[in-house]
Amino acid sequence: MFQKRRAEMPARPRLVTPLFFLITCSTFAYFVSVGSLIPILPRYATGPLAGGDASVGVIIGAFAVAAVVLRPFVGRISDRRGRRILMVGGAGIVAASTAGYVFADSLAELVALRALTGAGEAGFYVGAATVINDIAPDERRGEALSFFSLALFAGLAVGPVIGETVLGEQSFAAVWLVSAASAALAAVFGLWVTDTRPEIEPSNKGIPLIHPAGLLPGAALGTIICGLAGFDSFVPLYALDLGLGGSRLVFVVFSAVVLLIRSFGARLPDLLGRQRMASAGLTCTALGLTLIGV
């Protein structure tokens, strides 16, 4: 009886396809690149560049502002030119600009290069996330995005370990080059991505650049980004003040918790509702950042 009912149940649409796997590989390589810089840039700003806390904020902020401001424009480009060109071009820009850190001898030069890196980030992430959204079955979209984000946070877990290890064994310049190589690998993966843009280019006439329905969720996401930007900026320096010898363990623990929740709770947004899960996540983030500051 049970087998008969099971046979009558409609098969769930396949989620993990070769294209899905390729996107996650590219995303992992890209965020290894990003993660390897997180614990190193604050130390470079306050060390060789002889800057203060404000300089750390400017360096991190230049990347974030460029990425956030450009994403709405990049989204429209993805519909006109395709997703793959954004992934390859974005990761390529990140690779080239990060390699350029080797020649940055002043705060102004590094800030300019960080802004360029942020522009590449906008292209790569929008391209990769849009492909995932395009290929995910409607009833498994939340699950697809959760699994896609596993590659993101796995990269952010591995990256700081690589960055601090390379710095301990080599130099700041070596970190920049290793990070650039990882971004270049992401671009190579992107070359094999099948484009999923609409066959008919959507008309943008009368459609605002930022949809009104996205304002409130975007504002909520912005608050998290601001909080985590401060976390990424100053935890590497605070860890040294505490005598930890580095912040890699902090970022590994952070990413490991995210990976566990995303792995075992991938279906929760589809089952319990996206708004409810987003509210719970915002609350936990606020509590965590508050406790760190106490």
CATH code of the domain containing 162: 1.20.1250.20
Mean predicted confidence (pLDDT) in 53-75: 88
Q: How far apart are CA 60 and CA 24, in angstroms?
A: 25
Tell me if 210 is assigned to some domain.
Answer: no
Tell me if 65 is assigned to some domain.
Answer: yes
The band of 28, judged by pLDDT with boundaries at 50, 70 and 90, is very high
| Core vs surface per residue 120-145: b (16+ CB within 10 A) or e | bbbbbbbbbbbbbeebbeeebbbbbb
Tell me if 222 is assigned to some domain.
Answer: yes
Tell me if 188 is assigned to some domain.
Answer: yes
Residue 231 pLDDT: 76
pLDDT at 25 over 50: yes
Mean pLDDT rounded to a whole number for the chain: 83
The residue whose two tokens read 């796995």 is: 154
Tell me if 9 is assigned to some domain.
Answer: no
Residue 126 pLDDT: 92
Q: How far apart are CA 67 and CA 95, in angstroms?
A: 15
| Higher-scoring residue by pLDDT: 57, 263 | 57
Residue 5 pLDDT: 46
Q: How many CB atoms lie within 10 A of CB 218?
A: 15
Tell me if 209 is assigned to some domain.
Answer: no
Q: How far apart are CA 149 and CA 142, in angstroms?
A: 11
Tell me if 287 is assigned to some domain.
Answer: yes
Residue 219 pLDDT: 72
Q: How far apart are CA 269 and CA 114, in angstroms?
A: 34
pLDDT one-digit tens code per residue, 78-119: 878 888 899 999 999 999 999 999 999 999 999 999 999 999
| Higher-scoring residue by pLDDT: 140, 283 | 283
**Owning domain of residue 167:** 15-198+215-293
Number of domains in the chain: 1
Tell me if 3 is assigned to some domain.
Answer: no
Q: How far apart are CA 264 and CA 258, in angstroms?
A: 10
pLDDT one-digit tens code per residue, 197-252: 666 555 566 566 666 766 776 676 667 777 777 777 778 888 888 878 888 888 88
